[in-house]
Structure 1
Amino acid sequence: MRVERSVERIRRYAETSPAHGAIECGGLTISYRDLADRLDRRQAELAPVVRPGVPFVIGRPRSPEFVVDFLAVLALGGVAVPIDPGLPAGRREILERHLTAGPAHEDGAYVFFTSGSTGTPKPVLGSAAGLRHFLDWQVAEFGIGARDRVAFLTALSFDVMVRDVMLPLWAGGTLVIPAPGEAEAPEAVVAWLTRRRISVVNVVPSVAWSWLRYGAAPCPSVRTVFFAGEPLTGVLVEQWHETFPATRVRVNFYGTTETTLPKVYKRLRRFESTSGLLPVGKPVPGAGFTLAETGEIVLVSRYSSHGYLGLPEETAARFTRLAGGETSYRTGDLGRLDDAGDLLVVGRGDDEVKVNGVRIHPAEVAASIRAGGEVHDVFVTTGPLTAYVVPVRVPFDDAAVRRDLMAVVPPAMVPSRFVAVPALPQLPNGKIDRAALHRLDVAAPDAVHVRPSGELERWVAAQWTELFGTPDVGAADDFFLLGGDSITAMQLAARIRRDFGVALSVRNVFANPTVALLAQEIADRQLAQIDPAELLELLAQAERS
């Protein structure tokens, strides 16, 4: 099995640099020698259950233990499948169900899921040879070495996570993992990067913006940044240097989960010639691209993935095996060449969108809403994600549907808006009439403004005013209608933890979408943290007074 070779290089550092730090998390430092010992023990524990070439789910949170499990599965020839334990239980079940099909593959290294136009997630089988090829090139091309400290900040469901984990260990450097409670909110990230002396980061442009917007003190340690997952603008590159003035290597990557890591790249100057979209450049060695007549970008490589696990028809629709061992993949992205011959990604040929770097297909969101049983029909549009629903019951309870949806999909797939309509309008060819939908989408009458009452409601309203730039926020105002998303929810949850010592998840914020509801949730959580004896004493004091 060739996948085991992906760990051999890391093991060699246990011999050549045994005391050098391989992983840091909080106050814990794991040397390369210690990492090798932990890996040996974990391999022995997993050997009876990990089968070569077969997917194996890793359900740990981001942690040193997760990294050891990931490496142990690779070392045993298995296929690592990171599934974030923070996902809703229903979503985890759906993902694991899609791992049951498909034969073993000796070059399989990992599986990540992409959103599917059929309404179900598609498992992509990444290539071990492709992983090794990319890491060899990235380390050499950008001078990554033993002195580098790489941040592990990417969500476990996003394939960039593989670069977070493997790049520093491939180069003999140090992987730095935030401890629980560290770097959870965007406004805390820059200070964490400085404190942990991070030199290399992988980041999605929209997430980078969320780091930059708070005017944090400049971080002197980050010298290399790899942008990927979304369109990148010259404005962001310039803003980046105000907060990260030491950055000398700036790279815009382009690729898809289906191609096993990026296949096109562009080194960026600090001052780009445009404030608009920046090119993604030219192919990495061993890859190439063509533009179809429609403008669709077709990526070509000897190191592509092995397609969609257990979905031969969908694989055949997107992948083509070429002469000489290469594979082409139709990305669905639209592109053109700029005057320098660099590739510029200009849009999509279908409805697929990215939210914080996560690929989302509206059909999958619609299928998840439909499965809840509260709607006769539904159609989801993008920009922002909006669900037009034909409800089973009137009036339509969008809050209940949102809560049910959050039990089976990640936060990025929850629509910002639900619009109830009597029927989905159709064109003569049977397709949805989008123009008619927008005409039905009449703004609801303004709700009666209810002033926040009590200290907690006033605190929540003040935070929303700051986060959304909306003055005079009322107790009944809606988080989603004001423009709330998963990043805003993370920011809000961090402030709640800071000021009240209450730990709320993004899902908790989504489930309490008004000022009044969120304030009540905070109060209930505070009450639950009080010792029962102390609570009885407080109640007795209240009665006496």
Structure 2
Amino acid sequence: MLNTPLLIHEKIDENAKIYPARTAIKGPDGSITYSELDAKSDKIAHFFFDKSSNSAARQPIVPIISYPKVDLVVTLLGIMKAGYAYAIIDPSNPPRRIQSMIETLSLGRNSLIVDDKNLLNDQIKAAHFESCSIEYLLSKSFGETATATKNTVSAEDLCYVTFTSGSTGTPKAVAVKHGGWANLLEYFEQYFNLTDSDDNALSTAIGFDISQRGMFSPLYIGSCLHIPTEGKVDILNLATCIRENSISTIHCAPSTLYLLAEIFGQSSQLSSLKYAFIGGERLNVENLRPWIESKDFSCKLVHQYGVAECTDVATSKILDSPTDYYGRAVPLGCPIFNTTVHLTSDSEIAIGGRAVGAGYINLPEMTDARFRADPCNSGRLYLTGDKGRLNSNGELFHDGRIDSQVKINGMLLNLDELERYILHTQQPNQAAAVKYEPLLDLTQKPSTQTSELIAVVSTTKRVTDADHALKVLRDIRNSLTQVVPAHMLPTRYFLMNKLPISENGKTDRKLLQSVSYFSNEWRTQNEITALDKAELFNYSPKKTPIYGATPDE
């Protein structure tokens, strides 16, 4: 499929002509029709178009600090109409990270930042940036509309920038092109036969790549975007929004869907859903069993693979019979329109075609290392850092990260591989393997202060007491001893009701690595303790201190 789809703002402009009185967005701050969306975004576009016409920069980027709401989407659309790219920064980020994100963009002096919550600290303001609120932009009358600017944006121009930390923890700004994004949204519309009656509920934190398609895919097809709440995603509000508005689609990470399925799967709250587009981390279909086996389940589960550097989605797999995937890995599926997926000689997944983005902002060496010339087609390939494998039927599976290797006691191991083994023990429904570096203790010799490999699991089975929890953890370890070498066996095992979830709806591995997340009270191998709010059990197969804490004798 080689056609060139309308760009996002062009398609929404077309929808405004066809459905002027139809509600485009409903949120905590009210609602807006397609006609109003077009007119208000034109006003904002005119402001930015004037600013860009007086600037030497061809592709300016506008950071915008705001929680999700109707006027945020209006502003994003206006920014794109004017030929700018937007970069959403979630206000819930720590101030230092917000500062780091803005610094990553290397904005010039007097650059404008839309700071809707007045969160910019003195150091950022001292850099001589201009700032204004969304309300300020909408309150000003800029005269003529931005109609004349709409055709100045090309498929090769940037439409948005998203931030990804990767393995370093330092935010990298990833640039996405208009052509790649329009290709993805047209794929959703045509491949899944979505219509103007298929409303979508925003289900992910605002700053992440999955929320960009969550916001604009319904507007692209002429349906309504529902924003359940301003601020962090709340599962109760999301479920209520789905039921009360007969929501057809959601785009979310598996962890978000697990919570929906656990809490509301056996009720009729989710019965209107036609498609759940799931991506961002490994999918464990077993976790959705209460929903899948309920009488009201009719939703198509769509497992999607992709990376922020390639417009978020590269492949899709519709699970026509989801029960077939209980206890099994889910294949990645087929490439989306105008996109290619390859395995290199080192089994690394590479993505080509229109999905490939423009690279990293102000990181030319990293861009050159990861974005390579495509030997089969014109354009570039992106080397994802993900390992892939083909089964005997030619289906592609995600096989962990190349950079998920860690060294424990001088031995290399792959954390993703260990997590798969843990899940295959049939005890847990979620698992995370993390490496913890002990705090430096100057009273001990360096050789005695080794890193620890930790397994954290949750289970849908009811754990009645500490003895039962200890048995679950011992069973997991005993099963692992049958399939993995000794250096891959965790030294500590934790059982939780639920694994913690980060702002982007994925398992919060950084939090699990934090000693402060757990308790200072550790026990010997024959004891196990339920710990406060986390409802956490811990078990060590040998009597050793952990994290520098001394176990009770």
Task: Compute the TM-score of the two structures, normalised by the length of structure 2.
Answer: 0.65
**1:209 maps onto 2:258 in alignment:** yes
Query: Which residue, out of 318, 336, 355, partners 1:284?
Result: 336
Find the residue that maps to 2:452 and give its secondary structure. helix
Question: Given that residues 225 and 247 in structure 1 are in contact (C-alpha distance below 8 angstroms), is that contact kept between their aligned partners in structure 2?
Answer: no
Note closer, same or farther for the CA distance 1:39–1:188 as it changes in structure 2 (3 Å cut): closer
Identity of aligned residues (%): 26
Match of 1:109 in 2: 159
SS of 1:325 mapped into structure 2: coil
| Matching residue within 72, 77, 85 for 2:78 | 72
Superposition RMSD on alpha carbons, in Å?
Answer: 4.2
C-alpha distance in 2, partners of 1:469/1:185?
26
Q: What SS does the aligned partner of 1:90 have?
A: helix
Residues 398-417 of structure 1: CA deviation (Å, up to 9, x unaligned): xxxxxxxxxxxxxxxxxxxx
Structural mapping, 1:438-477, within 5 Å: 438=452
Matches within 5 A, 1:225-264: 225-236=276-287, 238-242=289-293, 245-264=296-315
Report the counterpart of residue 391 of structure 2 in structure 1: 338
Counterpart amino acid of 2:103? Answer: R
Question: In the alignment, is the contact (CA less than 8 A) between 1:184 and 1:490 conserved in 2?
Answer: no
1:325-350 CA-partner distances (Å, limit 9, x unpaired):
32111111111123332211121111
Seen in structure 2, the aligned counterparts of structure 1 residues 37 and 334 have a Cα distance that, compared at 3 Å, is: same
Q: Deviations over 1:124-170 (max 9, x none)?
A: 11111101111112101111111111011211221011111111000
Where does structure 1 lack aligned partners over 5 or more consecutive residues? 354-361, 363-381, 395-420, 427-435, 442-465, 473-479, 492-505, 519-545
Q: Does the alignment pair 1:97 with 2:103? A: yes
Note the alpha carbon deviations across 1:91-146, whole angstroms, 9 max, x for none: 100111000179x9951111111124455221111111101111112101111111
User: Structure 2 vs 1, CA of residues 62 and 311 (structure 1 numbering), >3 Å: closer, same or farther?
Assistant: same
> Does the aligned pair in 1 maintain the 2:258–2:288 contact within 8 Å?
no
- C-alpha contact (below 8 Å) 1:3/1:75 kept by paired residues: no
Cα separation, 1, equivalents of 2:316 and 2:170: 30
Q: Who is 2:351 aligned against? A: 299
In structure 1, how many angstroms separate the alpha carbons of the residues matched to 2:380 and 2:100?
A: 29
- Which residue does 2:63 correspond to in 1? 57
- Identify, as 1 or 2, the structure richer in helix: 1
Superimposed CA distance per residue, residues 190-243 of structure 1 (whole angstroms, 9 cap, x where no aligned partner): 333112221101121122112222255222211111111112234245544346
- The Cα shift of 1:65 comes to 1.4
8 Å Cα contact 1:52-1:76 kept in structure 2: no
Contact 2:250/2:275 (CA < 8 Å) preserved in 1?
yes
Pick closer, same or farther for the CA change 1:481–1:157 going to 2, 3 Å: farther
Deviation at 1:282, TM superposition (A): 1.6
Alpha-carbon contact 2:12-2:222 (below 8 Å) kept: yes
Structure 1 stretch displaced more, 33-42 or 207-216: 207-216
Distance 2:323 2:436 in 1: 38
- Per the alignment, in what secondary structure is the counterpart of residue 247 of structure 1? coil
In structure 2, the partner of 1:437 is: 451
Deviation string, structure 1 residues 457-480 (Cα, Å, up to 9, x no partner): xxxxxxxxx9996869xxxxxxx9
More displaced stretch, 136-145 vs 90-99:
136-145
Separation in 2, partners of 1:392, 1:44:
60
What is the aligned partner in structure 1 of residue 181 from structure 2?
A: 131
CA apart distance, 1:26: 4.2
1:249-398 to structure 2, matched below 5 A, reads 249-275=300-326, 276-322=328-374, 324-351=377-404, 383-391=432-440
CA-to-partner distance for each residue in 1:29-51, whole Å, 9 max, x for gaps? 21111111221222234444456
Q: Which amino acid in structure 1 is aligned with residue 19 of structure 2?
A: S
The correspondence for 2:234, drawn from 185, 200, 206, is 185
Distance 1:326 1:293 in 2: 20
Letter in 2 for 1:24: K
Q: Is contact 1:299–1:331 with CA below 8 Å preserved after alignment? A: yes
Query: Which amino acid is the alignment partner of residue 259 of structure 2?
Result: S
Q: Which residue of 1 aligns with 2:11?
A: 9
Give the whole-Å Cα distance in 1 for the aligned partners of 2:349 and 2:504.
34
Cα 1:116–1:223 change in 2 (3 A) is: closer
CA distance in 2, matches of 1:38, 1:482: 48
